[in-house]
Amino acid sequence: MTSSQPKVQLSDDEWRKKLNPQEFDVLRRAGTERPFTGEYTDTKTAGVYQCRACGAELFRSTEKFESHCGWPSFFDPADSDAVILRPDHSMGAIRTEVLCANCHSHLGHVFEGEGYPTPTDQRYCINSISLRLVPASS
């Protein structure tokens, strides 16, 4: 369910100034990066994953797991209000899109019931380009 208005609201021109063309395509136009090409697909660095568009905390490394699907996978967002889920009927399939609750940027999709050994049986399949990892302090 998408809330009515994001907290961060910018025009397309303002987003284009803030994001590079690839970031804009994924975050603002619901594009997808190619599998196994994202910078966070295989990272094991401890830290917090923020929205690349607005800096909101979305996921933590403690909820990241190896799904071998080609994109970073998480079994739960950092906070239940960090993301918004909405139906996505594009590409001839019914999927659930994941958006940043703060700026409504596209992050990826969430899938359920795939049998991964996680506490939620969910896989938040997120584009690396939608995220920025802030490593934990030593």
Give the domain extent around 93: 12-135
Query: 30 exposed, middle or buried (CB, 10 Å; 0-12, 13-18, 19+)?
Result: middle
Q: Give the helix ranges, DSSP H, for the chain.
A: 12-18, 21-29
User: What pTM value is reported for the model?
Assistant: 0.92
Determine, yes or no, domain membership for 100: yes
Determine, yes or no, domain membership for 2: no
Determine, yes or no, domain membership for 27: yes
d(CA 43, CA 33): 16
Determine, yes or no, domain membership for 36: yes
Determine, yes or no, domain membership for 99: yes
Report the CATH number that the domain containing residue 35 is assigned in CATH: 2.170.150.20
Determine, yes or no, domain membership for 30: yes
Active site residues per annotation:
125
Determine, yes or no, domain membership for 4: no
**pLDDT digit string (tens) for 93-120?**
889 999 999 999 999 999 999 999 999 9
Determine, yes or no, domain membership for 6: no
Domain tally for the chain? Answer: 1
Give the pLDDT confidence score for residue 138 in this predicted structure.
61
Contact 28, 107 (CB under 8 A): no
